[in-house]
Amino acid sequence: MAFISVDNVTIDFPIYGAAHHSLRHTLLARTGGLIRREGMRHKRVVVRALDNISFKLQDGDRLGLIGHNGAGKSTLLKALAGVYWPDSGSIRIEGRVSPLFTSAPGLDADDSGFENIKTCGMFLGMSAEEIEYKAPEIAAFSELGEYLELPVRTYSTGMVTRLCFAIATAIDPDILLLDEGLAAGDARFAARAESRMQKFIQRTRILVLASHSDALIRSMCNRAVLMDTGQILAFGSIDEILDRYHRQNAEQAAVLA
């Protein structure tokens, strides 16, 4: 039984080395969290990335995070991954969490694919024996063949994604956190990735996915939240939330036009 309980979570990012003149532009920006200045003579710049977020997830929940760039989707994912400790509020999680964000954690471009399977696997909590056992499967799924002997820096972007994807999906987490970038390689691989992804997701108890792709959200999730400037605007069914998101976009476009 896995669950996630997020209670009034607020996360502020202190911005170091933000010069005053460049800040004027940021303050006028329309996306992102609320930017505040604190402390003596307002020298400390703080961005409120998550603002009083609360929700609960349990076994079988597949949550899609929807919202503009800077709405707080990635920060929320990282908070769930335990990367960021909230300034206030609390996050309670039961179950083994596995994050798959920009790349496999610990990936080093100078090392070969095989070496990275081992390093990243270890970081994700696999034992040496477990990696030994799963390496052939990971290698086969990545379809990288002899490229696995070469340094990762020689890979194309798609090949790197395939490797990361193969590594991250080889473990058996209770809770999976995904941040976009799942368009792995060419179409044939994408199809295989999709089927492996579906299988993988069925094995995990809870999924949280941040994406701009309606199709991806629809195919993987069973509920969604709409986020904006670090807040949750709405929580509901996929159709409801996507609908509201697109309506909101259309309204904004109309205002700008």
Partner 1 sequence: MKPHYEVAWNDIVSGLLQWQVWTRLGWQEVKRRYRRTVLGPFWATFSIGMFIGGMSFIWAPLFKTDVSSYLPFLSAGLVTWAFATALITEGCVTYTAGSGIITQLNFPYTVLNFMVVWRNIIVFFHNVLIVVIVILVLRVRISWETLLLIPGILIVAVNGAWMTLLFGMLGTRFRDIPPLIGNLIQILVFITPIFWLPNQLGEGHKVVTMNYMYHLIEVMRAPMLGTAPAKLSYAVTIMGAMLGWLLAFEVYARFRRRIPYWL
97: contact with partner 1 by CB under 8 A: yes
| CB nearer to partner 1: pick between 50 and 226 | 50
Exposed/middle/buried for residue 160 (C-beta within 10 Å: 0-12, 13-18, 19+): buried
The alpha carbon torsion through 201, 205, 209, 215 (nearest 10 deg) reads 50
Q: How far is the CB of 132 from partner 1 (least distance, A)?
A: 12
119: contact with partner 1 by CB under 8 A: yes
102: contact with partner 1 by CB under 8 A: yes
- CA nearest 1: which of 41, 80, 51, 61? 61
| CB nearer to partner 1: pick between 111 and 194 | 111
Judged by CB under 8 A, the chain residues 176 through 195 that form the site for partner 1 are: none
128: contact with partner 1 by CB under 8 A: yes
Using the contact rule CB under 8 A, the part of the chain among 118-126, 187-195, 235-243, 245-253 near partner 1 is 118-126
13: contact with partner 1 by CB under 8 A: yes
| CB nearer to partner 1: pick between 94 and 240 | 94
- The number of residues that bind partner 1 (CB under 8 A) is 29
Q: How far is the CB of 82 from partner 1 (least distance, A)?
A: 3
Which residues are at the interface with partner 1 (CB under 8 A)? 13-14, 16-17, 78, 81-85, 97, 99, 101-103, 105-108, 110-111, 115, 118-119, 122-124, 127-128
